[in-house]
Structure formats: structure tokens, C-alpha cells
Structure 1
Amino acid sequence: MKFQRYARPVRTVSYKALMLATFILVSGLLSLVVLTHQVFRNFKSLETNVKDKLWRLQQQQESFNNQNEKKHLIRKRTPSTAFVSVQCYLCLGTTYIRWGRRDCPIKDGTQLVYEGYAGGSHYSHVGGGSDFLCLHSDPTYTPGHYTTGLSGSSYVYGVEYRDSSSFYGLFDLSLIEEGVLQYQGVPCAVCFVRSPSKLMIPSRETCPDGWTIEYTGYIMTGGHSDTKHSSSHICVDDTPQAIHGSKGNQNGAYLYVSKISCSNNMPCEPYVSVREIRCVVCSYL
């Protein structure tokens, strides 16, 4: 009896199936690459946005810090007129008028803005302004925008000292030619001081604690008997100057030293009747 040898059938893979499997594999790999690339791009974009926002926040913080420092930076004066840095908001300084002088006090932090001439209303006019002006020594006029002739209804005149020699002992007249104050023109100066505030105190010659003296003087205004209108009270320096070449009675605006009348509700203590009124201009430290 012959036995036939068993032959296992050989399986063959079709060409189409192999190509399909290869296509699927390659497509999957390509999809994975594209997805990976997209994720990478999104990550880079996110990283860029985060860096940009962080940079903007840093810039805003630096800007805020700079503004905050500027808001709090001023210069503070001590009674010795030395300056130290302190913090405040836009406390750059203030101005005041030094009546009777062409210059400003010689001290750190005080400087001349301009010098000029005191002006006011005529002593005999019933109207006009009641205040005194510090007119610039170098005026300007807009071409074609002014009139000529005596056609105005309001005028400003030069101011002159009117008190006689009996008052000369109140002042230091070392800066006045020949030591004669009466009838001379009154100069003025606008001063800038690196201080957040200034104050004129009548009836005092010293400043409160924490304030610095700019100058001392006497309260002066128009006379009560020969004027027909009121004028303001100003603090005129007790070491006055005069406008050069202004000698002689010009009959313009007048300045007299003011005195206390301790009646009509003005207490005679501590005030003394008919005594001249001192004044002081102070700036805050």
C-alpha cells in the first residue's frame, strides 16, 4: 500500500491587498507628520503670544513705575535753603511778586522770572482797577493790533512811593540813590521758588514752623485821604529799590505805608494803634 505525502497548500498574498496596506500605512504616517507639525506650530504660536503678553506687561509695569516716581518727585527745601529729594506729585514750584525790588532773594531754588514796574490806577480817578500790576520791563505789542491817541476809558499809571522822610527810618535805603524814597517809581520782580506753596502774612516778620522766609517788608497801599478808589494791600520789601530816573512827583498811582487803627473791632492788644504793619512772604519747605 502506497501512502501519498500530504502537501500543505501555500497561501499567496494578492498584490492589490499589499498595495492597499502600504497605502494605508503611508497615509497614516503622513497624517501623523502633519498633525505633529500642526501641534508644533500651534505651540510656537502660543509661546510667541505668551512672550508678547509678558513683554507688554513688563512694559506697562515699567511705565507705571516711572509715572509713579515722577508723581512723587519734588525738591524740598530745609530752613537752611538746602534741597533734598522727596516724593510728591508735580510739586514743581510757585511764583510770587517781590514789590519794591528788581531782583529776587539770593538763595537756592529761587530765581527771577522777570523784572518790571509797578502799575495801578490814578489816585484821583473814581474807577479803574483796585489791584497793582507788575508790568514787564520789556513789553511787546502785536503789529496792527493797537490804537493810538487818548481814546481809552481805563489807564494804568506808574506807582510811586509817597511817604515823607519821617518814614525813612523804617527802611534800609542803602539801595536808593541819595537815600530819598519819596516820589520815586516802584519796581517789582516776579520770582519762582521751588516750593509747592507760598504765603504773604500781614502783621508778621517771621514765618511759621516749616516755612522759609522769602523777604520781609511793610504793608503798603493807596492813601485814604487823597484817593477816590480803593487799592489792594501789598507787601513792599523793607530794603527797597527805585526805578532809575523816576524822581519827582508824577501824580500817578500812590503807595503809602499802612498803619493799624485799633478801633472798630480791631483789638488794641496785641495790636498797637497807628503802628506800621509789617509783612513777610513765606514759601513752604
Structure 2
Amino acid sequence: MFKLFLYIGYAVGGLYTEQGSSQDILCATTNPVFGKTSSSDFGHLYGVEYDNDFFAPHANGEDMPCAVCNRKSTTSSIMIPGTSTCYPGWRTDYHGYLATEYQAHASGSNYICIDINPEFLVAGSVNTNIGRLVGPVIAKCGILKCPPYHDKYPVTCVVCSK
């Protein structure tokens, strides 16, 4: 599939043990430009690493890259959890598995969709457990209806555009 990238970068976020840490996972440029060179120690930005081997063999500890795709003003994009196919009239950008921070960590995180064929940063295989640690999201039956969902099954996702 042909993908138009605005830029490819580093997945970043706050430290998973810091309670006040931002919940967002961002895509930071690989070529940062700094204005000031000092500040008070207030918020932190760390890299993101895979916290287990679910997404690919030997993924645990690998650092996560990211990409921001070009977007035309007439294009809409949506991430749909629970499926790997787009609705009619929508184009599949990629599909994979829903991921987030571990539920017992002090800091929360937004859900993200990790491509079925994840990539890793070069020389990023040292498992530091510093920064964001992401893993798969599993379905939990109750208010979430089972069926059609299945308890403890990893949740798929798809990113679609139109």
C-alpha cells in the first residue's frame, strides 16, 4: 500500500509511573529545533517502547517509531476499534491491534492502533522501562457485549480515510 508521510519520527509520551504525566502519545520529529535551552522541571517527554512480544517476535523493549501522514483538506481519518476492515466508501490506511499503557501504571494513556506489521527504531532494543510502555488491549465482557466481543481476546483496529 502506498503511504504519503508528512514525517516519520519517534513515538513519545510521559513516564508511566508519573501520576501527572500526559495521557497522550505523540509523534515527535527526528530533527528537533530548540528555542530555549533551560526550564523548570515540570513535564517530561520520554520515548515509547513495546512492553511485550505480542505485536511481533522479540518486540519487548524495542523502541517505537511513528509516522504522520499527509492530509488533504477534503480527507477525513478515523481509527475504529474492534475491526480490521473499513466501512464501504472508506480506504484502509492500515490495520492491527489496539494498544495502550498497562492499566495498573500510575499514568494513563490514550488508545492507539499499532500496525499488524510493527516497525522498530534502529538500535532501540534495550528494554529500559523508562517512558511509555504499550501493550495489547483485551476485551472485557460485562457492559461490553459478549458476543459479539469475546472476553480476554485482543482487540483489533483499523485506520480508515476518505
* Bin for the TM-score computed over the shorter chain: over 0.9
Match of 2:52 in 1: 163
Q: Which runs of 5+ in 2 are unaligned?
A: none
Distance (Å, rounded) in 2 between the aligned partners of 1:189 and 1:241: 11
Q: Which has the higher contact order (CA 8 A, sep 6+)?
A: 2
Q: How does 1:5-16 map onto structure 2 within 5 Å?
A: none
Check if 1:200 corresponds to 2:79: yes
Distance (Å, rounded) in 1 between the aligned partners of 2:44 and 2:68: 22
Check if 1:185 corresponds to 2:63: yes
Distance (Å, rounded) in 2 between the aligned partners of 1:198 and 1:123: 28
Q: Which runs of 5+ in 1 are unaligned?
A: 1-104, 174-178
Distance (Å, rounded) in 2 between the aligned partners of 1:217 and 1:272: 17
Match of 1:209 in 2: 88
TM-score, scaled to structure 2: 0.92
How many residues align? The count is 160
Match of 1:140 in 2: 33
Match of 2:146 in 1: 268
Distance (Å, rounded) in 1 between the aligned partners of 2:42 and 2:78: 34
Query: Considering only aligned residues, what root-mean-square deviation do their CA atoms show, in Å?
Result: 1.5
Distance (Å, rounded) in 1 between the aligned partners of 2:91 and 2:71: 11
Shift of 1:146: 2.3
Shift of 1:230: 1.4
Distance (Å, rounded) in 2 between the aligned partners of 1:111 and 1:134: 16
> Kindly, what percent of the aligned residue pairs are identical?
33
Larger helix percent: 1
Distance (Å, rounded) in 1 between the aligned partners of 2:16 and 2:160: 30
Shift of 1:140: 0.7
Check if 1:277 corresponds to 2:155: yes
Preserved contact between residue 11 and residue 66 of structure 2 (Cα < 8 Å) = yes
Larger strand percent: 2
Q: Residue 62 of structure 2: SS of its match in structure 1?
A: coil
Preserved contact between residue 16 and residue 108 of structure 2 (Cα < 8 Å) = no
TM-score, scaled to structure 1: 0.54
